[in-house]
Each structure stands twice: as structure tokens, then as C-alpha cells.
Structure 1
Amino acid sequence: MSTTTESARPAKAGPVPSPGRRTRTLLLVALTFGAGVIDIIGFLGMHQVFTANMTGNIVLFGLAAGEANGADLARCGVATLAFALGLLLGFRMAGRGDPSRLWPPGVTRALAADLVLQVLFLVGWAATGARPEAATLLVLIALSSAAMGVQTAAARTLAADGITTTFVTGTLTSMMGSLSIGSSASAGVRTAVIGGLTAGAAAGGVLMGPAPVLAAAIGPVIVVIVIAVAFTLHRKPASPLG
């Protein structure tokens, strides 16, 4: 056939994902939804601090430094440091991952630590009537940020289609880069992740006024569900056809 005919053929989207891979993707999108809620809690309920998205947080830190705003510096600094420590803890608990497994058990262990941190945050958040101040505010920022750091490390260990669950800049970049060369592989997954974070932020915004404690409960509930389902994936192979 001619070159023209060959070029007219649509780009291949790659192998159809197995049910196990689809389940893994749904779990990661669910975690991303929870991260969207958590970031809104930080922004609206803890003096405009991001506890899941460190890019925005570091920008706010720089702004606070430029304005010599000590209170904002403390909040953003605590959030960034706690997130970094959460990453360290998460990577240590998750281990190096196992390319032969769809969902290594170490990732579930890391998510268990994420759950503990989120529950501690929820207890403190409820105890203050969702209006923490002073030292309590900094403690809650640290708990929330550390939880998101652990969750990010767990997702990164999976190396699943570039999903991070707490920020989507890299996901969006990868998706646009693939589409620019005619490849639609993982485009649906990445779109779902971006939509999940957006939907989580929207849900958090709706609940923060009338039910801020309920908003903070969404994250732990999602992690419990993810951990429960993840046990079914521990023995599944990582092959797209497995």
C-alpha cells in the first residue's frame, strides 16, 4: 500500500488493560479525589496552605518571604517539611516496588501509614471545631501534609501511567506530549486523574461551609476502601494481559 494510506491509519492505543489494571487505576483516581478534598481543606480551612500540592505551597512560601509574613512562612514551611518527611517515610515503607506485581504489598503498608495520619488529622480537626489556630494549626498542617507525602510515595512506587494522586502537572504534561505524537495510550487514565482531582476540590469546596468535619472524613474513608480492595491485587502479575 502507499505511504499515504499507511499514514491515514489511526495510532494504536496499546493493549487493552486487564481487569486488575483497571481496578488499580480506579483506586488511584479515588486517592486523587481524596487529595483534591484535602487540598481544599488546607486552603479554605487552614489559612490558604496547600497540604497536597507542594508546587503551590512553595510559591506561597516565596510570597510570604517577600512580604516578610512570619505566620505564612511558618505554615508553608511546616507543610513543605512535613510533606518531605512523609515522602521519606512512604518510600521506606513501600520499598523499591516489584515490577512483576500489579500492586506490591509494600504500597498497601504505606497507605496504612497514610490512613493513620489522616485519622489523626480528622480527630484534631473535629476537636477544634474545624477552626484550628496557633500551635494546633501547625500540628494539623503537619499531619495532613505528611499523609499526602506518604500517599504520593506509595503511588510513585507503583509507577502506574505517571499517576501521582496529589498533583497533576506532570500527568497533564505527559498526556499532551503523547497526544502530540499521535499516541492515545493512557490518555483516558490521565484524563480521569485530572478529573478526579478537580472533582475532589469541588466536593471539598461544597462541604467546607456546611460540613467541614465531613469533608475531612472523605480522605480516610477512601483510603480504607483502597486498602481493602488492594489486598485483592497483591498476587496479580503486572503484565497488561495478566
Structure 2
Amino acid sequence: MTARPTSGDLRTRQVLVAALAALSGATDAVGLLALGGAFTSVMTGNLVLLGTASTTTNGALALSSGTAVLAFCLGVALGTLLAGTPRREDGVWPARVTVALAVEGALLVGYAAGWWVTGADRGATAALLLLATTAVALGVQSSTVQRFGVPGLSTTFLTGTLTGIVVRLTTRRPLREVLPGVQVVVGLVAGAAAGAAVVSALPGAAPALQLALVAVVLVVASLRFHRGRAATSPGPHRETTADVQEPGAPSGPPTPGGPR
């Protein structure tokens, strides 16, 4: 029987997941403030915007929010094909997760190039294409983290994560069960704050923040999980709340995580 995942590997993964949440927050802030007023990962928000636009006859908002939804769905499908679904022999960080996140990084590189080429005076069509590209990237990320097989784990839809935090606090669960979810939520908020600050003060540097976050995740994951050794494999062991407390669902049977 192969070794169970080490606590160090699980902690490292949790930090990287929080960094991916920060990337989601930063990218959402950029989309909201500079690319047509739609989100790149908050699909509940985009669906509400789409419904609102249909009533108020706001064609531009309907186009941006609808495009983001479709692009995100495309990204989810792509990420699923790239990362695959959880398998019993998976390690803490399967190699296909890194491959899928590298594709997300490539999409963000293309977006960054488009951002810098079009400049601050970009037209509506260019902004829509940039929004769609980032929505595809976040869709890839959203489905890729599902490969970890941890119920409720997400870097893009965090209503379930927030619910899990409050449930655990209310029922006085151990702090170790609360902290992972808090890390992800803090990562998202911090990323959104940083993204908003950069796009407002130094808009040309906005893509650099997003690229830096995905680059850090890829480098750390490669060094920790793929360099010189196979990722720690739990074999037939499946992760439970005894190994790592998932951010999005309370202890016991998994609680489906809702969109944030």
C-alpha cells in the first residue's frame, strides 16, 4: 500500500489553492472595472446581470455578461478534458493539474498581450475578446481543481465555502477545520483588492499581477510535487476530513457548494 499524503504536501496545496482564489479575485476585478462590467468567474453574478439587462434593454451588459458565461463554460469543458476527474491512485497534486493550469497561464499570456497591444483606449470589441479569454482561463481553473477530489473545494465559487466557515464556527468545530476555507476567502478578497487597485492606478500592470500569481502556483507545484519524485500518492486511500478539511462543505456528508 502506498503512503498517505503528508501534512506538508496538503498544506502546500492549500496555499496554492488560496493563490488561485486570489487570481480569480484579481481577474474578476479587472473584468468588472475595465472589460465591460461583467465577471470572469462569478457566473451567478453574470446570470443576474444577464437577466437584468434583458429587462432594462441594456444590450452592452447583456452581451458582456452572456459572453462571459459562454466562455466560462467552454473553459470548464476544456479544463475537464485537460485535468481529468479524480482517480483513486491520484497524488496530492496530479501532473495533469499542472498541465491544465499551464494552459490557463498560456491563455492569460494571450490576454496580457492583447491588453498591452490595445492599450487604455481599446474599443468594445477588444474588451469583449479580452473578457472572453479571461473567462475561458478561469473556467479551466474552476474545473481543474475538481481533480483534487476534495468535496466543496473551489477557487471561483465561494458561497459554499463561506457557508461552511459559518457552520463550523457556529457548531464550534476545531480551528483546523475552519482555517482552509478562511484562507481561500481571504485569498479571493485580497486578489480582488489588488486587482482593483492596480487597474485603477496602473492599468498597464494589471496583467502582470495575474501572470505573477499563476506563475507562482506553477513553479511551486512543479518544485514541490513533480521535481525529483512522484507526487505523494495515497493509493487506495481517499481524502477525508481527517486528512484535509475541505473549504466548502461542513464535516460529515459533503454539502454542495453553491455559487458565490
Same-fold status (TM-score > 0.5): yes
Q: How does 1:88-167 map to 2 (within 5 A)?
A: 88-99=77-88, 100-160=90-150, 162-167=152-157
Provide the residue aligned with 2:50 in structure 1: 61
Contact 1:45 1:131 in 2 (8 A): no
Alignment of 1:209 onto 2:165: no
Superposed CA RMSD in Å reads: 2.0
CA shift at 1:131, angstroms? 4.0
Instruction: Please report how far the alpha carbon of residue 210 of structure 1 lies from its aligned counterpart in structure 2 after TM superposition.
Output: 2.0
Rounded Cα–Cα distance in structure 2 between residues aligned with 1:86 and 1:194: 22
Structure 2 counterparts to residues 1-242 of structure 1, below 5 A = 18-99=7-88, 100-160=90-150, 162-184=152-174, 185-231=176-222, 232-234=224-226, 235-238=231-234, 240=243
Task: Report which stretch shifted further, 113-122 or 211-220.
Answer: 211-220
1-side partners of 2:25 and 2:12: how far apart?
20
* 1:186-208 Cα distance to aligned partner (Å, 9 max, x none): 31010011111111111112111
Q: Which runs of 5+ in 1 are unaligned?
A: 1-16
The structure number with the bigger radius of gyration is 1
Aligned identity (percent) is 37
Using the TM superposition, give the Cα deviation of residue 176 of structure 1 relative to its aligned residue in structure 2, in angstroms: 2.2
CA shift, 1:222, in A, is: 1.4
Q: Is the 8 A contact 1:45 1:130 kept in 2?
A: no
Identify unmatched segments of 5+ residues in structure 2.
1-5, 245-260
- C-alpha distance in 1, partners of 2:195/2:121? 16
| Structure-1-length-normalised TM-score | 0.87
Check conservation: 1:33, 1:197, Cα contact below 8 A: yes
- State the shift of 1:115 in Å: 0.5
Asked whether the 8 Å contact 2:195–2:209 carries over to 1, the reply is: no
Shift of 1:161: 6.1
Q: Which amino acid aligns with 2:167?
A: G
